[in-house]
Amino acid sequence: MLSDKSLVEKVLKGDKQAFGIIIKNTEALTAQIVFKMIDNPEDRKDIAQDIYLKAFDKLAGFKFQSKLSTWIAQIAYNTCLNYLQKKKLVFPDNIHTENQTDFDALENLGSRWNDFSVNTTEIRIAEKERAEALHYAMEELPPVYKTLIGLFHHEELSYEEISRITGLPEGTVKSYLFRARKFLKENIFSKYEKEEL
């Protein structure tokens, strides 16, 4: 496995296969950002191409102050954010809440479902319902919140890495994650109560 430095050096010397390796190594993280932030499939393709064109064009300026994947994720995030800002789709007012208590209080969205003392079939049904409810609630999040949730919970990035990618201070990342989890929790529970599940 080649290091970031070796790959960058090879690309700068004209090795196209080395850039292909960079794409392969970073496409999962890039896709996580693009798919969470951009709804339109056609726009996703165009934006993904744009991200890697920008990365290729700017590669000579990469200073190795972070991992290459983090740097490309930063390009991906900023490219998507610029697209959303043009369409005025970044932060709807209705999701913001100033009531911020303990950020860890909402870490485990599923705690309410973990109290089952029932048979395996009922547990599986409950888990499926929970996954579906979470999926639909995630789709209602603003793109930036959806992305932060994906980076933190799916990609398991640290607050520091997410801060580097998004350019947001760590405190803001924590705050937005808190708000996103709060929204998800309230959204899921309100639907479950309405449907009496």
pTM of the complete model? 0.67
The dihedral through the CA atoms of 151, 154, 160, 161 has a sign that is negative
At residue 6 the predicted structure's pLDDT band, cuts being 50, 70 and 90, is very high
- What confidence score (pLDDT) does residue 77 get? 93
Tell me which of 37, 58, 86 is where a domain ends. 86
CATH of the domain at 12: 1.10.1740.10
Averaged pLDDT of the chain? 78
More confident residue, 151 or 109: 151
pLDDT in tens, 106-148: 333 333 334 433 445 555 555 566 666 666 777 788 888 888 9
Q: Lowest mean pLDDT: which of 42-56, 67-81, 105-119?
A: 105-119
pLDDT in tens, 18-40: 999 999 999 999 999 999 888 88
100 near 178, Cβ under 8 Å? yes
Closest CA to 185 of 145, 139, 133: 133
Overall number of domains in the chain: 2
* Contact in structure between 159 and 127 (CB atoms under 8 Å): no
Looking at the fold, whether 67 and 127 belong to one and the same domain comes out as no
Residue 90 pLDDT: 58
Residue 104 clears pLDDT 80, i.e. is over it: no
Q: Please indicate, yes or no, whether residues 97 and 81 belong to a single structural domain of this protein.
A: no
Same domain membership, residue 108 and residue 76: no
Residue 156 domain boundaries: 93-195
Percent of the chain beyond pLDDT 70? Answer: 72
74 and 153 in a single domain? The answer is: no
Domain end position, chosen among 54, 86, 118? 86
Nearest residue to 30 (alpha-carbon basis) of 150, 135, 138: 150
